[in-house]
Amino acid sequence: MEAVREMVDSFEPQVFEAAIRDQLVERKERLEDAARSNGNGFDLADLIGQVDAALAKIEKGTYGVCEVCEGEVEAERLLADPLVRVCLGELSDKERHALETDLELAAAIQRGLLPKTAFGHGSWQTDFVYEPLGPVSGDYCDVIPVGDELYFILGDVSGKGMAASLLMSSLHAIFHSLIPLGLGLQEMMARANHLLVESSPANQFATLVLGKAATDGALEIVNAGHLPPILIKKGIAGELNHAGLPLGMFAETHFTSSRVQVERGDSLLLFTDGVTESVNELGTEYGTCRLFEAVSGNGWKEPGALLRKCLDHLTSHCGSAKRSDDLTMLALAFN
């Protein structure tokens, strides 16, 4: 995902301001419509004035500048609320407490969106590791049983913090709405992509793997720009290298699916770049090769055991170095 981030970041300032401007214009139009049809006496003039002030700042090139210290306002906060005017360092005690309360509530809501741990469905067993860097995460992990089939999703939203967590929640809602429709995985991913393009800022996107596991061990996977899942067959690990563009970049993106047949005792591991890009005290990345070392040579009938081995191996490499990203892994075993 880092290579895609770099590509997007190369034009981020222009795209970011254009996305914010579009948001503000749309909000102003809605506020003005509400003001014209307002029968309850609510005064929306102040809010409309705040939107106008933000649009004026964009035209002057001063949008995102803290009104107190003249430093930069955090981009993720602007994405979540484009009317923010001061950076975190200039918040009052009351404002800081309100923000902390909001983060705690957001974290609780996000934890409630996670699937069950050590979940079984037919011949499939699943488990996951979900470790946000902060109170909330931009990683998306989901397991959804439908009839005899098991859908699984693992994704990574660009950015960090509240803005990324909001987009993660949007993805959760999108896929929980689409999966019951019985669509093919390619069409489902295309519809999810279109919805994401229409509902999110232009500088936000997500890499994501969507899969479907059948009772006979048949796997179908669509990969939207995410790290390749690792398939472990008879103790030998290999990547499923079939990746397209990330979600949210272009509305008319076409996605392809890959299929593989697994046998009893085979496992599948999905992970975000918070795993492979973790570094030790010397700055050496963990990398995919070390992950292969951790998972090879065993049948891994229990997905929880597979995840524990990966975490132990990762911890041994990183030592006391601090993480810099959310970390998520999802394991499936066919028994």
**pLDDT for residue 242 is more than 90:** no
Scan for tokens 């214009």, then name that residue: 25
pLDDT value of residue 202: 67
Tell me which residue of 175, 165, 277, 274 sits closest to 222, measured CA to CA.
175
Which range of 2-11, 71-80, 153-162 scores highest in mean pLDDT? It is 153-162
Domains of the chain are 2-91 (1.20.120.910), 114-334 (3.60.40.10)
The 10s digit of each residue's pLDDT in 307-322 is 999 999 999 999 999 9
Q: How much is the average pLDDT of 116-142?
A: 92
Residue 47, token pair as written in the block: 């809010």
Q: What percent of the chain has pLDDT over 90?
A: 51
pLDDT value of residue 12: 56
Whether the predicted model's global pTM rises above the 0.85 cut? no
Between 195 and 27, residue with greater pLDDT: 195
Q: Is the torsion defined by CA of 172, 123, 259, 185 positive or negative?
A: negative
The 10s digit of each residue's pLDDT in 266-298 is 999 999 999 999 999 999 999 999 999 999 877
CA–CA dist 273, 205 (Å, integer):
15
